[in-house]
Amino acid sequence: MNVLLISLPILTFFVCFINIIGFHQQRDIHTANWKTAILQSSLILAGYLVVFSELLSLFNGLTRLTAAIAWCLGLSIMLWMGISKGYLRQGSSSITNRLGSLSWREGLVLLGVVCITMTLLVIALISPPNNVDSLLYHMSRVVHWAQNQSLRHYATVYTPQLIFPIGAELIILNLRLLWGNDQLANLVQWLSMVGCLIGVAGLTEQLGGDRKARWVAVAYAISIPLGILQSTSTQNDYVTAYWLICLLYFAVLAYRRDLHKSEQISFALALSLGMLTKGTFYPYALPVVLWYAIVLLRQRKKMPELFAIAVMSGMTILVLNLGYWARNFITFGGPLGPAEEVARWATKQNGVMSFIGMLMANTLANFVTPVESINHLIVGWFRGFIGHYDPYLTGFDMIWGWNHEDLAGSPLHALLVPVTLMLLAKYRSGHKRSVLRWYVIVILSMCASLAIVMNYALYSLRFHLPFFIVWAPVIGVALGRINKPNLVWIACMFFLVVSMPWVLVNRTRPLIAMRNSTDPFTIPCFAGCTNGSILIEPPESTVFGTLIDVRNDYISLARDIRSLPCQDIGLRLDSHDPEYLFWWLLSAPESGFRLETIYTYPELEQYLDQTFTPCAIICTTCNDEISFQDFSIYGNYANVKLYVNLFSLDE
């Protein structure tokens, strides 16, 4: 049944893809290709997913059955359109005719890319979500939604579960509903990585890069350390990068020619979905939107047409984001959550030097070294120099974590940014220089926009992933212009080879473990110890990859709860507790266990379920003096306590 249900969105995507190819053929859109069709298909289906999820949520009807029906309806619509309008026939014929051959060099690079992506797929499928943010809010909100059968706000002690954008988690929710558990949760980031590689190849082509330029751009993109590590987790930076790639793709198309209405809608969908996915998308998208507006004005479109495009884009943004914004506004008084939470992430600009300081902090963070004395020297110099101008940046720090998905820098890829600019300055020849020049200006403007809008945080490195991804087409074009073909293929293989340590030795989800052990798939701990290999470690061990100190306590707690005739569990937690671990250990909500927060903030007390009567309470904030009416201490596990209502159990 799981395979049958999960095949519904896959088939829907495949039919949509062929339909769009056929649509391009009928409309004689020559510059559109299979890459364009893939981007448009993902945008259409992601938009459809958001709309039907929000509609079902209004009636507390977001269940496995209704999700399956919604995807059946989507598949039926795609089949009807494809057959009635002839898109399927023309699209299938076009795909067959466009199949081309690869040179042996291209085949070798493709083999390397496939090996890396398939290895990461295995890691994503084997590993349960174990990133700290995933345990705190990414996955916690998903199981709350699944239990409530709605996206409505609920009582919690960690408000980011409610206020942060929901786009990536909404896709995870659909996969969970159709599959029945979280085994496919990591695939959202993995699929975004694959989509980014396709988008990078397409953008490189639109910017004037030849085939070898496209391959080196893809090799550069797939080798980004932070991207490799995140592609097997349930974070949302790769999803953000994918929507940004889509946005840029259609902006570049708009520069080259007038967009078809379907492509204008695709631009609007990319903008809307990015806004629904992560707050960092806003500063990244701002330069792109401004460029798109300038392009439309330069095309001398008439005012009614410009107005129609603006209205269509605005309506698309509103339709996809209204539910998320409305829930935040009703609860916290603002579409993005409480004003103080927004202010916490916003930079405190104190002028030009503050802006320069943010740029420097974002750049230096990529060059953290394994030598602590060097890191302290850099941090001390930076704080002394910038702290005089911006006291907020005195919190800048550098922590070595080369294979940690929140701390891994990308020094090689960062160094290649100025190198790329020098290569472009030297090799100016080539067509489409104007669009490339604009593209580079827009991408560099993203750095400035991010520095102006976002405050620095220790884990800000993960926010850089979209920048490195969208820079890949530039380096592809730059290296492609060098009249030394062998150099390009050497660069491709170099990027693929240097990526292997991050593919194999992820700190929390390693295929090859680094630790002092004689276990299989283990090597000595010479570059920072990791967890045990996911090839031999049970999921119960891997899921605690970042929180090993609480593993035994939480497992003992879950075992004792399962031994009780009790399924209604109250939660009294601290905001820093990894809530999802309790759900995962109890296989909730699919197993029948119901978990509800019983103590929360005043503004969220309206969401406490007054009909909920727990028979047991999990408490991480209780000292020995705390007691509950009719509840007795049942287990004390050092990090957490279990209270049980013996009277309700007797009943």
Closest to 98 (Cα-Cα) out of 25, 39, 27, 41: 25
Say yes or no to pLDDT of 438 above 50.
yes
Average pLDDT over residues 19-28: 87
- Is the separation of the CB atoms in 496 and 109 below 8 Å? yes
3-class DSSP assignment, residue 633 = strand
Q: How many CB atoms lie within 10 A of CB 86?
A: 15
Is residue 432's pLDDT more than 60? Answer: no
How much is the average pLDDT of 283-307? 90
Q: What is the 3-state secondary structure (H, E, C) of 241-295?
A: HHHHHHHHHHHHHHHHCCCCHHHHHHHHHHHHHHHCCCCCHHHHHHHHHHHHHHH
Strands (E), 133-241: none
pLDDT of residue 648: 65
Q: Name the average pLDDT for the chain.
A: 92
Going by DSSP bridges, is the β-strand pair 568-572/522-523 parallel, antiparallel, or unpaired? unpaired
- Residue 202: band (very low, low, confident or very high) from pLDDT cuts 50, 70, 90: very high
At 393 the pLDDT is 81
CA 1-231-420 angle, to 5 degrees, is: 145
Q: Which of 146, 100, 164 is nearest to 337 (CA)?
A: 164
pLDDT at 430 over 70: no
Pairing status of strand 568-572 against strand 513-514? unpaired
Residue type, 140: S
- List the structure tokens of 189: 């980031």
Q: Residue 348: its pLDDT value, please? A: 67
Separation CA 530–CA 543 (nearest Å): 13
Convert the pLDDT of each residue in 215-235 to its tens digit: 999 999 999 999 999 999 999
What pLDDT, on a 0 to 100 scale, did the predictor assign at position 431? 47
- Pairing mode, strands 616-619 and 641-644: antiparallel
Query: Which pLDDT tens digit goes with each residue over 182-199?
Result: 999 999 999 999 999 999
Q: Tokens 């708009």 map to which residue?
A: 254
User: Could you give the C-alpha distances from 298 to 206, 302, 388, 436, 647, in angstroms and in order?
Assistant: 19, 11, 44, 17, 75
- Is-contact 451 355, C-beta < 8 A? yes
pLDDT, tens digit (0-9, with 9 covering 90-100), for 348-359: 666 788 888 888
The percent of residues in the chain predicted with pLDDT above 70, rounded, is 96
Q: Are 87 and 22 in contact (CB under 8 A)?
A: yes
Rounded Cα distance between 572 and 580, Å, is 13
Type of residue numbered 414 = A
Residue 433 has pLDDT above 70, yes or no: no
Quick: pLDDT tens for 42-76: 999 999 999 999 999 999 999 999 999 999 999 99
With contact defined as beta carbons under 8 Å apart, do 349 and 355 qualify?
yes
Structural domain boundaries of the chain? 1-100, 128-181+547-651, 352-465, 512-544
Q: What is the C-alpha to C-alpha distance for residues 257 and 299, in angstroms, rounded to an integer?
A: 9
Q: Across 17-31, 335-349, 430-444, 573-587, which has the greatest mean pLDDT?
A: 573-587
Per-residue pLDDT band at 418 (split at 50, 70, 90)? very high
Percent of the chain at pLDDT exceeding 90: 74
Mean pLDDT of 596-605: 93
Q: Are 83 and 90 in contact (CB under 8 A)?
A: no
For the stretch 511-514, contacts whose Cβ atoms lie closer than 8 Å and that sit 24 or more positions apart, written own/partner, are 511/119, 511/122, 511/123, 511/535
pLDDT at 651: 56
Q: What is the pLDDT of residues 611-629, one digit of tens each?
A: 999 999 999 998 876 677 7
Residues 136-146, mean pLDDT to the nearest whole number:
97
Nearest to 182 by CA among 128, 138, 219: 128
Which of 546, 488, 564, 577 lies closest to 219 in space, CA to CA? 488
pLDDT at 637 over 70: yes
d(CA 148, CA 156): 13
574 φ, ψ (degrees, to nearest 5): -95, 160
pLDDT at 25: 84
pLDDT of residue 427: 80
Convert the pLDDT of each residue in 475-513 to its tens digit: 999 998 888 888 999 999 999 999 999 999 999 999 999
Residues β-bridged to residue 616: 569, 644
Peptide bond into 589 cis (omega under 30): yes
d(CA 348, CA 393) in angstroms, rounded, equals 9
Question: Is the pLDDT assigned to residue 301 strictly greater than 80?
Answer: no
For residue 388, the model assigns a pLDDT of 75
Q: What confidence category does residue 1 fall into, taking pLDDT thresholds of 50, 70 and 90? A: confident
